[in-house]
Amino acid sequence: MLRLLTCASAVCVLAAGAGLAAAVREQAPPDKAAALQRLASVATTDSNTVPASAPRAAPHPIPARMLGSDVPVPVPPSILQPRNGWLVSDGRTLVAVYAGAAGDDPSAGRLVIVRQNLVAGKQTVRTIDARATGALQITAAPIGSSVETGRIHLRTTHGRALHLDLGTESFGSG
């Protein structure tokens, strides 16, 4: 790229594409001289105009694991009073399930499912209520790296066994 600037009685040339800045002055006006000097001092020496390709991050899977009650939950306590959680990632998608009670009603069991598309940088948060079960607690979950399917086994405050189907996000007994 070549720019030609013409000032009152001065000709200034900036050859940025070649990484060269030169100012030829014949009594440039004082208000232009400082700008030309600055322009010459900051000229780039990197003339490569080809954009760099985006870096490709290698997927970093996270093995399925249970989360204790001390792990921070990405929703406020007004939404969920957590008991525990479960997390897995195949490096492209991350799924976290948090179990507990509804923030505004401790007699209502609630799950919060967080799904993150790590490639696209998108996240969804879904709450699923189990009605008057009391707080829910995850007792077992898939140990493989499947992020889309599997059963999360739950226990209610009163000892009743439930499960959540991750694929359909629906509850079942036992």
Full 3-state SS string of 117-161 = ECCCCEEEEEEEECCCCCCCEEEECCCCCCCCCCEEEEECCCCCE
Classify burial at 157, counting beta carbons within 10 Å of its beta carbon; exposed 0-12, middle 13-18, buried 19 or more. middle
Cα–Cα distance measured from residue 113 to residue 67, given in angstroms and rounded to the nearest whole number: 13
The whole-number average pLDDT for the span 95-111 is: 95
Render 21-43 in DSSP notation, one character per residue.
Answer: EEEE-SS--HHHHHHHHHHHHT-
What pLDDT score was predicted for residue 14?
A: 39
Cβ atoms of 84 and 67 within 8 Å: the answer is yes
The secondary structure of residue 70, as a DSSP letter, is T
What pLDDT score was predicted for residue 34?
A: 77
- Give the global pTM: 0.66
Cα–Cα distance measured from residue 101 to residue 134, given in angstroms and rounded to the nearest whole number: 6
Cα–Cα distance measured from residue 63 to residue 79, given in angstroms and rounded to the nearest whole number: 27
Which among 66, 70, 20, 61 is positioned nearest to 40, based on CA atoms? 20
Cα dist from 37 to 31, 33, 56, whole Å:
11, 6, 41
Which residues have a Cβ under 8 Å from the Cβ of 38 and sit 6 or more positions away?
Answer: none
Percent of the chain at pLDDT above 90? 43
pLDDT of residue 7 exceeding 50, the answer is no
